[in-house]
Structure 1
Amino acid sequence: MVYHSNFNTDAGYRSIGNYPILPLKTTHKGPAPKADPNSQDIIDEALELFKANILFRNFEVQGNGDRVLIYLTLYITKCLLKIATCNKADAEKQLFTMAQEQFTVPGDSAFPLGGMITIPSTRDATDGIRQSLTQLRLELGVRLVQRVYATDPARPNKWWIRINILVLFGGYMSNPSTPLKRKKTEEIIKNGNGDHPVATNAYRELKRVNTVNYAYQESNGHLKPLNGFVTPLLTDMYQITMAYSLWKNQRHNIHTVFDLYFRKNPFRGEFTVFAGLEEVIRFVSDFHFNDDEVEHIRSLIPDCDQGFIDYLKTLTSKDVTIYALKEGSVVFPRIPLIRIEGPLAVCQLFETTLLNLVNFASLVATNAARHKLAVGKDRVMLEFGLRRAQGPDGAMSASRYSYLGGADGTSNVLAHCFFSIPVKGTHAHSFVTSYNSVSDLVDKTLVGKDGKTYNLFDLALKYRKEMGWTITNESELVAFTAYARTFPNGFLALVDTYDTLNSGVPNYLCLALALNEIGYKAVGIRLDSGDLSYLSKESRKMFKTVGEKYNIDYFNKFQIVASNDLNESTIHDLNRQGHEIDVFAIGTNLVTCQAQPALGCVFKLVEIDGHPRIKLSQETNKVTLPGRKTAYRLFGEAGHPLVDLLLLTPTNASSSPDEIPKAGDKVLCLHPFEEQKRVIVTPKAVEELHIKVFDKGQVMTNPLPSLEEVRAFCLSEIQRIREDHLRASNPTPYKVSITKKLYDSLHSLWLESVPIREMK
């Protein structure tokens, strides 16, 4: 929730209208009375609360202290932009100067708080506010520098600068003409003075955190979700009603174990990539209901006991422990991706949110991995699906987890901004068709690498004539010239606007020759329609022919990018037909997972109060494996995984756990439901898959691995899996087995739980 000022209460502070002159610990001259040196003043408060309050779009003003707090918060963002590249000494000078330069005050049209502060009625009142703000700005600059350069006087702290780049308020105090200017402040920050209606709902701004650093952390050590929609209310209604019933019947604190797993690999394959764990950890770490959320629940269950409301207000994850596989792991059905241990009501409240965070993430990562396997490790795969994704959240998740699963880059600029995913892009057909004649090209020149100015269009025409390509579309050549002038070191042209082989590729080559003559190297072409196999091979032949004619060896190596509604199947077809494509830009079928809309993870209770629990079904694959379990992966001589083995590791101390498998020892591995399917494995190596990631309120893997690290781990995991498990057609199923002890427990509990029917 948003944090308010402790100076909202009227403690006899002098005010100018509704602007308070608050005590300060400062040596700078001004109207502020001296503050107790041992107490916190408004500047201390603004700096302490900056990282929390800057992430909220709505701020309901609760007193005059909040008005000063908001102003200082906005001013901090302006200061951080000013000193982003300064050392400490320069930063001190910059902020000292900025504090005293002309700035807006209440009544000025560009004042950042709009009408939140009453317009002074006299010149003396205006001067009084200006003097107070100057004093605040001077003192804040001094203390901000002390914090930002506390560890290194040569450069500012990376966290302060990076979080400030993406903060909500970044545009409020900037030049009003900037295209990033936000809505007027008075439309967003609302108070209750009659002129500005009180905001009835506190919508949380998406947390714009640079997740490459994973630096955003509350002072209490709890990580925060990266998406503001991820709160305890992101759940199904029946989770709330169950929690109320569990509380009312005094069952809410019983210790339980839940497994999150899936039953079947997606896309008719035999492997899955596990993703979404970081978001799970962030959600669980920050799990709590704020006052507004609790009141919303009260409105849903109007007759609920006050005791339940009080219980929710204090509910956290302090009694929860979580074990999980590493994010990026190659995983298989029935193996718990996440094991959640803790009070029944809390664990139950996690269910929907955790499934939401894991299902789509793992599905997209798996889809990307499969597409990357089809593309091949020696070729590039780009995710180009932003425009076809299911809304902004779907697009950001798809870009993130496609990259985790193997994509080499994205077209999504915001994904680059948040996650530092390499971003790629050229131009659209509309760029080409926007040029109609030579007259549209106002400037045809380009400065060559030798410093001389050349007429690039005339050079292209020269080569067009030499090659005999006089029938190519001239307006396309004009468009290519315009783009080549803009990006002479990165010229990559979309060549299928009119006629790929009779116009697009020849026009591209004319520009490539022209650029080569003045010292630049073109990059390649993009094909977005037609027979990609044939067109790519013919284009490569043309590259080679022109390169040989002019003795330019790199022409044969021009990149060919394909982006024509590609999917896994069409890529395999292209591989069979043969092609010359270097880069596959995949959109719709990658980000929407068109081949399969959902993974189907489930969240099942497997132990309560130390006793194993089972869920039965007439469909055998829906029967749960009871008890607290740990997974081990057994490796063969060649280093490939042979089987994943589930062992019983019960919470109840009176129950003996399974013996942990050891390398070199024979291990009996049983199918959970088909008794005749069993095998003895002598593993070369054994790896425990479950690691503790969260324990009693503390994140155990902090800092969390970066996206690059998770991606690298994922790619290494895929390389370890046998090719027959990974192939697209008729893949070999991977063995997931259980121990004899777990097998006996499963079938014993199964028989105990099914009533014996009497036949007459």
Structure 2
Amino acid sequence: MTTFSGLGYLEANHLEINIQPSLLVQAADDLSLLTDLYQLTMAACYVGEGIEQRRASFELFTRRLPEGFGYLIAMGLAQALEYLEKLRFTPAQVQALQQTGIFAHAPERFWQLLLEVKFTGDVWAVAEGTAVFANEPFLRIEAPLWQAQLVETYLLNVINYQTLIATRAARMRDVAGESATLLEFGTRRAFSPQGAVWAARAALAAGFNATSNVLAALQLGVKPSGTMAHALVMALAAMEGSEDQAFAAFHQYFPGSPLLIDTFDTVAAAERLGLKVNSGELELAGVRLDSGDLVELSKQVRSHLPNVPIFASGDLDEWEIARLKAAGAEINGYGLGTKLVTGSPVNGVYKLVEIDDIPVMKQSSGKVTHPGRKQIFRTVVDGKVTADRLGLMDEKTANEQPLLEIFMEQGKLLRSPENIETIQKRTFTTVASLPEEVRRIQDPINLPVNISNQLADLTQKTINKGIVNRK
């Protein structure tokens, strides 16, 4: 019988598959235009004013966490780095932009820069799977101004969405417990085919055991996982005479897959299967319940199938998992889709903090940013996070852990992409290190992020000099 062991499941099911990461996304020459128009118009303006090569620093962060969240799990860096490494514009794309007429007054040098573009900047970021809080930069781009501006939209897209999914997945793992099997079933509810692949990756990296998304699973080198749909049971039962014959047929070809038993009468199906399992006629990898009172049904199914894993699905989230556990549901694993891949967005923003070594900031009501290139300094005592401090990059620290690391320098990657198992272990460790009041799903408390004296002084000096954006 197939068994599951929580976080060990991915390692046990790792495949020796070598598929290029680019299969997860469109070809690189298709992604350069995946941007908001104003990134291109601003870049053209910078060229016209002769400041396009000035060194700029932009930081990506969220001003506030989604409602009900006590932390975020940073995710999406791998795809961000791949995008930056492959950023190119083709002659056909440049021609298409020219034909819009929007850029009729743009300087000629702008077009030449697009045709010659290669990202030449540095990338600082927190490692994927790291918990972050409001106003802490996940990522910083240090590059020529026009390049740093051009990449904003794509970076926000990939990091905001994967961070949302990773955070939801980490919370679900935390609530379900290490021994529960969590399967990502969200492809049909994700906002796009590309989003579905990213959601699967983020869920696995944040602690899920497997995904039903075949493309994502094979690219990541793990086995896809799934069961069956009600259509198979109904079709085979109609054509071959009974639900049991439908079960037998599917089990013959896929003996390691759980059976979906709630098409007709859940308890009756469990009773019939139990007789076969108890007599040694059948070995079952598991059964899945997708509807009804999951607490009561799971208890009745368990009475007939005492040693068979029971999976539950059907618009579940971390709060429903907690409710099921509190009510004593006999459930070993969960299939999670709609509530995982949708929900309140991570409202990450990307803001200029320094240009040509001049700190800059925004001072709009409710949208204040801190100037200068920053670092997150984390204090961990006996394996538990006790405080975060937001300071300047050149500040000295003795007993704090700096979270932002350099991943790309002058456009060149400094390290190989991490595998999913490594990120998953980091996620598990970082969530376990958070205070209970931050981890809880009911009324979590946000960990306060202290501002260093040096950063506070720089903020006041910047305000005094008037180098602020008040809009």
Q: State TM-score, norm by structure 1.
A: 0.57
- Sequence identity of aligned pairs in percent? 32
The residue aligned with 2:414 is 700
Matches within 5 A, 1:45-444: 162-163=18-19, 207-208=22-23, 228=28, 231-300=31-100, 301-318=103-120, 320-436=121-237, 440-441=239-240
For 2:225 and 2:115, locate their aligned partners in 1 and report how far apart those are by CA, in whole Å: 46
The residue aligned with 2:453 is 740
Residue 493 of structure 1, CA deviation: 2.2
| Equivalences, count | 452
Q: Please say if residues 47 and 109 of structure 2, whose CA atoms lie closer than 8 Å, have aligned partners that are also in contact.
A: no
Q: Please say if residues 123 and 408 of structure 2, whose CA atoms lie closer than 8 Å, have aligned partners that are also in contact.
A: yes
Q: Please say if residues 226 and 279 of structure 1, whose CA atoms lie closer than 8 Å, have aligned partners that are also in contact.
A: no
Q: Residues 229, 560 of structure 1: CA spacing in aligned structure 2 closer, same or farther, 3 A cutoff?
A: farther
Q: Please say if residues 635 and 643 of structure 1, whose CA atoms lie closer than 8 Å, have aligned partners that are also in contact.
A: yes
Q: Please say if residues 29 and 87 of structure 2, whose CA atoms lie closer than 8 Å, have aligned partners that are also in contact.
A: no
1:417 match: secondary structure: helix
The residue aligned with 1:640 is 384
Which letter maps to 2:376? A
The residue aligned with 1:662 is 398
For 1:268 and 1:429, locate their aligned partners in 2 and report how far apart those are by CA, in whole Å: 34
For 1:513 and 1:575, locate their aligned partners in 2 and report how far apart those are by CA, in whole Å: 27
2:118 match: secondary structure: coil
1:390 match: secondary structure: coil
Residue 436 of structure 1, CA deviation: 4.3
The residue aligned with 2:265 is 499
Q: Which has the higher strand share?
A: 2
For 1:733 and 1:485, locate their aligned partners in 2 and report how far apart those are by CA, in whole Å: 51
The residue aligned with 2:8 is none
Q: Residues 748, 303 of structure 1: CA spacing in aligned structure 2 closer, same or farther, 3 A cutoff?
A: closer
Residue 707 of structure 1, CA deviation: 2.1
2:457 match: secondary structure: helix
Residue 267 of structure 1, CA deviation: 4.4
2:31 match: secondary structure: coil
2:375 match: secondary structure: strand
The structure, 1 or 2, with the larger RCO (C-alpha pairs under 8 Å, 6+ apart) is 2
User: Which structure's CA Rg is the greater one?
Assistant: 1
For 2:300 and 2:247, locate their aligned partners in 1 and report how far apart those are by CA, in whole Å: 20
Q: Please say if residues 226 and 257 of structure 2, whose CA atoms lie closer than 8 Å, have aligned partners that are also in contact.
A: no
1:266 match: secondary structure: coil
Q: Residues 435, 511 of structure 1: CA spacing in aligned structure 2 closer, same or farther, 3 A cutoff?
A: farther
- Cα deviation 1:269-292 (Å, max 9, x = unaligned): 111010110111111112232222
- Cα deviation 1:629-664 (Å, max 9, x = unaligned): 12211122x221111212223xxxxxxx43x1212x
For 2:205 and 2:30, locate their aligned partners in 1 and report how far apart those are by CA, in whole Å: 21
For 1:704 and 1:491, locate their aligned partners in 2 and report how far apart those are by CA, in whole Å: 32
Q: State TM-score, norm by structure 2.
A: 0.90
Q: Please say if residues 29 and 90 of structure 2, whose CA atoms lie closer than 8 Å, have aligned partners that are also in contact.
A: no
For 2:216 and 2:107, locate their aligned partners in 1 and report how far apart those are by CA, in whole Å: 45
Residue 754 of structure 1, CA deviation: 9.1
Q: Residues 352, 643 of structure 1: CA spacing in aligned structure 2 closer, same or farther, 3 A cutoff?
A: same
For 2:173 and 2:18, locate their aligned partners in 1 and report how far apart those are by CA, in whole Å: 32
Q: Please say if residues 322 and 340 of structure 1, whose CA atoms lie closer than 8 Å, have aligned partners that are also in contact.
A: yes
For 1:661 and 1:303, locate their aligned partners in 2 and report how far apart those are by CA, in whole Å: 50
The residue aligned with 2:351 is 604
Q: Residues 694, 229 of structure 1: CA spacing in aligned structure 2 closer, same or farther, 3 A cutoff?
A: same
2:151 match: secondary structure: helix
**Stretches of structure 1 lacking an aligned partner (at least 5 in a row):** 1-157, 167-205, 210-224, 442-473, 544-555, 650-656, 664-685, 756-760
The residue aligned with 1:630 is 375
Q: Please say if residues 18 and 219 of structure 2, whose CA atoms lie closer than 8 Å, have aligned partners that are also in contact.
A: no
The residue aligned with 1:483 is 250
Q: Does 1:571 align with 2:336?
A: no
Residue 231 of structure 1, CA deviation: 2.4
1:244 match: secondary structure: helix
The residue aligned with 2:405 is 691
The residue aligned with 2:424 is 711
2:224 match: secondary structure: coil
Q: Give the root-mean-square deviation of aligned CA atoms.
A: 2.3
2:60 match: secondary structure: strand
Q: Please say if residues 74 and 132 of structure 2, whose CA atoms lie closer than 8 Å, have aligned partners that are also in contact.
A: yes
1:635 match: secondary structure: strand
Which letter maps to 1:643? A
The residue aligned with 2:435 is 722
For 2:54 and 2:275, locate their aligned partners in 1 and report how far apart those are by CA, in whole Å: 75
Q: 2:276 aligns with which of 507, 511, 515?
A: 511
For 1:287 and 1:391, locate their aligned partners in 2 and report how far apart those are by CA, in whole Å: 22
Which letter maps to 2:387? V
